Amino acid sequence: MATTLTTQDHSRDVAGLTYIYPVLSRRAGGISVGINFNVNNACNWRCVYCQVPGLSVGSAPDIDLLKLREELYFFLAYVDSGRFYSDFSVDPNCRDIKDISISGNGEPTSLASFGEAIEVVKEVLERRSKLGQIKLVLITNGSLLHRESVRCGLALWGALGGHVWFKLDSATVTGRELINSTMIPVERIMENIKVTGEVCELWLQTCLFDYPGKISFDGEVRAYQLFLQEIRIKAKIQGVYLYTIARPPLQPEARVIAPVQGYQLDRVADSIRRIGFRVQVSY
Ligand code: SF4
């Protein structure tokens, strides 16, 4: 196979599998093994910076759990054999699995069999003797974490040592409507953060960007700081991950929105540290 895997390649079908895809991750600094439940490119949100091609409104379809098991087992064995690295000409400095991330073309917790899918991941990791060896990350918009079935899956994820990256782009109703196309109330966000932090290592992930004529950057940051001051007392949060738009969004608003500068990220990061959080910044 004459293919080179680079950090620019975020295609979900690069390895020819349905649910599993490798990414050379700038966030992780190596190979991230992605798991995509949303093979229909459907999400319950529509973020203006979303990079999912042909994004539609909806939930993940029913998935083939047997196929998920086979693909994850196959891919981990493929990497362990070393053939994946040579087939894809992976940079020798990046020949390591940094994490397994449930991060799809849509909201992964919208999968009806989310809990069963986590059981499958657990089973495969046990069979490949990987439990506790590889960081596990669930990337979620957090909006469905009040569902009982999702909470069961989250509890198992936490028992496996799983981390949760919980999206929080705006602490205002207007901001969430304009940025994420959601009307989720702040009380539900707080409750979902609280419940998640009780069972998993929880990080908030926040995308900062300019949205001229729609969003006041300074106003959003002030509301965000107030939110963090309140949630810090109520919930167990490991830290905050700040980033900006790194690749061209695939939504109509792509013409209008723009990344913020590094110094703006640094300024917000410092203010969050003063509130008492650990902060990671991705430029
Ligand atoms: S939550 Fe994620 S997948 Fe869904 S619209 Fe937003 S960026 Fe896209």
Measure CA 59 to chain center.
16
Weakest-pLDDT range from 90-94, 105-109, 121-125, 204-208: 90-94
Q: Which of 39, 50, 251, 257 to mutate to test the pocket of ligand 1 (most atoms within 8 A of CB)?
A: 50
Average of pLDDT values for 52-65? 96
Question: Residue 60: pLDDT above 70?
Answer: yes
User: Cα dist. 69→20, 25, 113 in Å?
Assistant: 10, 23, 14
Q: Is 3 left (phi over 0), alpha (psi -120 to 50) or beta?
A: beta
List, for residues 137-159, the tens digit of each pLDDT value.
999 999 999 999 999 999 999 99
Q: Phi and psi for 103 in degrees, rounded to 5? A: -150, 110
Question: Sorting pLDDT into bands at 50, 70 and 90, what band is 2?
Answer: very low
List, for residues 8-32, the tens digit of each pLDDT value.
565 666 678 999 999 987 556 689 9
Q: Which of 44, 45, 143, 244 to mutate to test the pocket of ligand 1 (most atoms within 8 A of CB)?
A: 45
Question: What pLDDT is attached to residue 242?
Answer: 98
- Give the domain ranges of the chain: 20-282
Q: What is the pTM of this model?
A: 0.93
Question: What pLDDT is attached to residue 1?
Answer: 44
CATH code 3.20.20.70 for 20-282: yes
Mean confidence (pLDDT) of the chain: 93
Query: Cβ-count burial of 16 within 10 angstroms (0-12 exposed, 13-18 middle, 19+ buried)?
Result: exposed
Atom 7 (ligand 1) nearest CA? 50
* Residue whose token pair is 């998993």: 200
Question: Residue 190: pLDDT above 70?
Answer: yes
Determine whether the shortest distance from the Cβ of 46 to ligand 1 is under 6 A: yes
Determine whether the shortest distance from the Cβ of 43 to ligand 1 is under 6 A: yes
Determine whether the shortest distance from the Cβ of 203 to ligand 1 is under 6 A: no
Answer for the pair 158, 107: CB distance below 8 angstroms, yes or no. no
Atom 2 (ligand 1) nearest CA? 106
Question: What pLDDT is attached to residue 12?
Answer: 63
Atom 8 (ligand 1) nearest CA? 50
Question: Residue 182: pLDDT above 90?
Answer: yes
Question: What pLDDT is attached to residue 258?
Answer: 95
Question: What pLDDT is attached to residue 7?
Answer: 60
- Distance separating alpha carbons of residues 68 and 74, to the nearest angstrom: 10
Question: What is the enclosing helix (H) or strand (E) of 156?
Answer: helix 148-159
Question: What pLDDT is attached to residue 24?
Answer: 85
Question: Sorting pLDDT into bands at 50, 70 and 90, what band is 92?
Answer: confident
Percent above pLDDT 70 for the chain: 94
User: Cα dist. 54→43, 74, 250 in Å?
Assistant: 11, 29, 8
Question: What pLDDT is attached to residue 247?
Answer: 85
Residues 6+ apart with CB under 8 A from 193: 142, 166, 168, 202, 204, 231, 234, 235, 237
Question: Residue 239: pLDDT above 80?
Answer: yes
Weakest-pLDDT range from 15-19, 80-84, 240-244: 15-19
